[in-house]
């Protein structure tokens, strides 16, 4: 007797509700991926970097959102602005370096300007077009520089001074409207003092971005994490709240981690973020793909850039307090790395999990059902976080997550 034949494998158990599983095509179908870029990624606020990565006027970073090139720069007025990194002349990428300073002279342009190397047009730090080569000779009085500035994007520096950008000019929400409800639990810890990025790495992983977000928002997989089993799994751990917030965000509430139970482990109390009780751990998962993970003495922030249905780039940042002494910073880095560094306990285990899912859900693979049916009174192993995320996804996409060929709105009626 086979365990289950194809027909049985493809029939969902009758007892499951339609919000208790999703169809794997939402992770593998390239057409759905393209639609997500338009309906979700181009319309959301994203924490693209931290202000400490642009410490001086004229410092910049480049990135992409939904394949659109973006440039973030600190002006001489200290304000951080974001622009489309595209020249209004003939569509050339203006800045090609990942980060740097516009104070440096470049072969193709003046310092203190963003210069497009193609025909030498120059822009100031507010995105105004400052210089057009052979302007009068070629355009006479037909074109005005004031009509040829860069496209400025909405940009806010908030919640621990992260730099948030959205491509959507018509989004009437501020970052606070968008994420404030979920980030409220750690806002005072993030805003008490200036923070500083002490760790940055990025990884390109063969999986769908939502599978990474899922792994951040479900804790049932703590069975995979030796560190979490040993330092958690107390009655307080199992009572840890897991609560849905508006706009698809989720907050995993705190409990006291028993760091001393791990081999050679010690309490991290003395380096707790301001206002955070000793060894507490909050996790905030923001729709559609960012995560604030405050583990007592170190903050980790993951930001995703989906590259295709089966590839995601994840940027990992570790932050401490700007005023740390060298010794405090070293210990904070050690705390961060013991869990999330290259030889840490957790990060590679999570990556193995989602890469394994990714290899079983390649574009063109047959649809499978992915179950998210645990109910445990909105506590740590309740899969409410994923269910909530996919309701928001369904609304934005107007597709039913458990059968993306059906319209969400009709199924909801
Ligand atoms: S494309 Fe930028 S100056 Fe021509
Ligand atoms: Fe994990």
For the Cβ of 89 lying below 6 angstroms from any atom of ligand 1, the answer is yes
Mean pLDDT of 12-24: 94
Q: Domain 49-156: state its class.
A: mainly beta
Residue nearest to atom 1 of ligand 1 (CA): 90
- Do the domains 49-156 and 174-412 sit in the same CATH topology, yes or no? no
End-to-end CA separation in angstroms for the chain: 41
- Which atom of ligand 1 is nearest to 121's Cα? 3
For the Cβ of 90 lying below 6 angstroms from any atom of ligand 1, the answer is yes
For the Cβ of 116 lying below 6 angstroms from any atom of ligand 1, the answer is yes
Q: Which tens digits make up the pLDDT trace of 122-168?
A: 999 999 999 999 999 999 999 999 999 999 999 999 999 999 999 99
DSSP bridge pairs for 320: 196
Q: Best substitution site from 84, 85, 89 to test ligand 1's pocket, by max atoms within 8 Å of Cβ?
A: 89
Q: How far apart are CA 313 and CA 205, in angstroms?
A: 6
Q: How far apart are CA 65 and CA 157, in angstroms?
A: 17
Structure letter (DSSP) for residue 13: P
Statement: residue 108 has pLDDT above 90: no
Give the pair of three-digit tokens for residue 95: 């800045």
Q: Phi and psi for 101 in degrees, rounded to 5?
A: -135, 135
Question: Which CATH number is associated with domain 174-412?
Answer: 3.90.380.10
DSSP bridge pairs for 163: 49, 157
pTM: 0.96
Mean pLDDT of 296-305: 97
For the Cβ of 406 lying below 6 angstroms from any atom of ligand 1, the answer is no
For the Cβ of 87 lying below 6 angstroms from any atom of ligand 1, the answer is yes
State in Å: Cα 392 to ligand 1 middle. 40
Tally Cβ neighbours within 10 Å of residue 246: 14
Residue nearest to atom 3 of ligand 1 (CA): 119
Q: How far apart are CA 175 and CA 158, in angstroms?
A: 8
Mean pLDDT of 65-90: 98
Tally Cβ neighbours within 10 Å of residue 38: 11
Residue spans per domain, the chain: 49-156, 174-412
Q: How far apart are CA 131 and CA 145, in angstroms?
A: 8
Cβ contact 35:381 at 8 Å: no
Give the pair of three-digit tokens for residue 249: 């965000």
For the Cβ of 333 lying below 6 angstroms from any atom of ligand 1, the answer is no
For the Cβ of 138 lying below 6 angstroms from any atom of ligand 1, the answer is no
């Amino acid at each position: 007797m086979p365990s289950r034949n194809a027909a049985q494998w493809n029939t969902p158990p009758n007892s499951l509700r339609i919000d208790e599983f999703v169809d794997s095509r939402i992770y593998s179908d390239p057409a759905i991926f393209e639609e997500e870029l338009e309906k979700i990624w181009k319309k959301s606020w994203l924490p693209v970097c931290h202000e400490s990565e642009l410490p001086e006027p004229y410092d910049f970073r480049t990135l992409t959102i939904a394949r659109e090139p973006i440039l973030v720069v600190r002006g001489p007025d200290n304000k951080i602005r974001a622009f489309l990194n595209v020249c209004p002349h003939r569509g050339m990428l203006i800045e090609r370096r990942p980060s740097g300073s516009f104070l440096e002279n470049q072969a193709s342009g003046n310092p203190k300007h963003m210069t497009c190397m193609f025909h030498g047009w120059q822009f100031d730090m507010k995105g105004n077009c400052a210089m057009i080569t052979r302007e009068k000779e070629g355009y006479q009085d037909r074109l005005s520089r004031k009509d040829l500035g860069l496209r400025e994007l909405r940009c806010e520096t908030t919640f621990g001074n992260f730099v948030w950008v959205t491509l959507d000019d018509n989004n009437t929400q501020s970052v606070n409207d968008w994420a404030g409800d979920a980030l409220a639990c750690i806002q005072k810890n993030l805003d008490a003092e200036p923070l500083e990025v002490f760790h940055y790495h990025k990884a390109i992983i063969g999986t769908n971005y939502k599978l990474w977000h899922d792994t951040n928002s479900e804790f049932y997989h703590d069975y995979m994490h030796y560190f979490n089993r040993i330092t958690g799994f107390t009655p307080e751990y199992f009572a840890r709240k897991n609560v849905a917030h508006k706009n698809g965000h989720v907050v995993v509430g705190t409990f006291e981690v028993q760091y001393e139970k791990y081999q050679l482990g010690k309490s991290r109390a003395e380096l707790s973020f301001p206002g955070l009780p000793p060894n507490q751990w909050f996790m905030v998962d923001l729709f559609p793909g960012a995560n604030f993970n405050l583990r007592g003495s170190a903050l980790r922030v993951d930001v995703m850039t989906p590259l295709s249905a089966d590839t995601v780039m994840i940027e990992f940042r570790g932050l401490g307090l700007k005023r740390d002494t060298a010794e405090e910073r070293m210990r904070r880095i050690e705390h961060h790395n013991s869990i999330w560094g290259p030889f840490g306990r957790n990060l590679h285990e999570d990556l193995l999990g989602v890469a394994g899912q990714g290899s079983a859900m390649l574009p063109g693979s047959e649809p499978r059902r992915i179950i998210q049916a645990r109910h445990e009174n909105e506590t740590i192993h309740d899969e409410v976080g994923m269910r909530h995320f996919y309701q928001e996804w369904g609304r934005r996409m107007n597709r039913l997550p458990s059968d993306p060929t059906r319209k969400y709105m009709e199924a909801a009626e």
